[in-house]
Amino acid sequence: MKAMPLKLAFFALVSLLFLGACASPEKLLERGNYEGAISASLKKLSGKKNKKAKHVKALEAAFEKATHYDMREIQVLQKENRSENWVEINKIHRRIQRRQSLIEPLLPLYASDGYKADFKFVRVEELELDSKKKAADHYYSEGKRYLAEAERGDKESARKAYENFEDIQRYYKSYKDEDRLMKRAKQLGTVYVLFKMENDSRTILPRDFEKEIKRISVRDLNSTWRTVHLNPEANNQYDYTVVMRLTQIEVSPDHVKEREYVDDKTIEEGWEYVLDNNGNVRKDSAGNDIKIPKKVLIKARVFESYQHKEAHVAGRLEFFDNRDKEIVHTEPLAVDAIFENYAAKFDGDKRALTEDSKKKIGNQPRPFPSNESLVLQAADLLKPVVKDKIARSRVMI
């Protein structure tokens, strides 16, 4: 029942859009949709030799009303005497320019009955250049104001400064020292993160363990306002330190488990006669001997060897705020690097082997990995875990 009003609203919206698209220039003009009336009129008139007077007059009236509306809006915005208004004023100037450029190719415009349309163009080029400069000046002043706050340690202000300097590029590719100030805002607004590893497990790590961990690609960890370093850079003040603190490193002993089991299967092999109670071969209705498939139980004895060794590495990620000098977030870490191998051989009928047994037959026992190599495998497994937890953290933004 609740879905019906949504469906009705959807169909109503589609209907309105359809009617708007099909509406005549005159209807659009009556509704006050001047831009729509201009667009519809131009479609009716462009490329036509016989231009209907009603379409010519609709274009003329819509153009006049749209221009009048825009000029009046500019006056109101200018009277408010607010620097941010120049952004909107420039948009209006550009809109007037665009509208006039659409009309200009049709001039002089005569209807098929001889009526000549009169379009009063606004000399907007100089006005647009002036509003463009003042809009850029507004963003430049706002950017410098926020940058001054950023210099006192406000990263949010630095990002607002950056956005304002970036907005200038809508008007000018290069404007005053905007490029230098923008770089400074980017520097002040960026959160710098240092990744470190601490071993509190009381176990000596393999020499290349930390090197392996720090082979993480930081490209995916960096964003517009976050830069992660795996090694400290001189003269860089880090906002956060992410410490991978290892608290547990355990390697199990080499473990071998052997077992013996039998696979069996009943198969059909050859045939045998069906005998009656007297021991004679039974006949069918056609007088032929009756025989049935001979079922045979076959077996295979499997000798299996299972090898297992495991390295367990656990700890936590600590997100340390260097400004407040406190841990603001922690994430648990744990991975298991596992070595396992099945080897098997058999005696008996190969046809009796199950699919699982067949996979193991022929495999040979393998040398157990060293404790060091298994712990290094754990380091490789830790990398994506650490990377994912840092990337998803909402603390360091």
For position 20, what pLDDT does the model report?
A: 47
Q: 186-198, pLDDT tens digit by residue?
A: 999 999 999 999 9
CA 208 to chain centre: 33
Position 5 pLDDT exceeds 70: no
Closest CA to 239 of 167, 321, 161, 318: 321
Q: How high is the pLDDT of residue 21? A: 52
Dihedral sign, CA of 13, 19, 25, 27? negative
Q: What is the mean pLDDT of residues 32-50?
A: 91
Answer whether residue 181 shows pLDDT above 60. Answer: yes
Query: Exposed/middle/buried for 275, CB within 10 Å: 0-12, 13-18, 19+?
Result: exposed
pLDDT score for 247: 97
3-state secondary structure of 261: strand
pLDDT bracket for residue 8 (50, 70, 90): low
Mean pLDDT for the chain overall: 91
Instruction: Give me the residues paired with residue 291 across strands.
Output: 273
- Whether the pLDDT of residue 84 is over 90: the answer is yes
Q: Is the peptide bond before 108 cis (omega within 30 degrees of 0)?
A: yes
Residue 393 CA to residue 397 CA, distance in Å, equals 8
Q: Which carries the bigger pLDDT value, residue 90 or residue 391?
A: 90
Q: Is the pLDDT of residue 273 over 90?
A: no
Question: Which pLDDT value is given to residue 122?
Answer: 96
Mean pLDDT throughout 348-369? 92
Q: pLDDT value at position 52?
A: 93
Q: For the chain, what's the residue count?
A: 397
Q: List % helix, strand, coil for the chain (3-state, nearest 5).
A: 45, 25, 30
pLDDT for 19 equals: 46
Q: 3-class DSSP state for residue 166?
A: helix
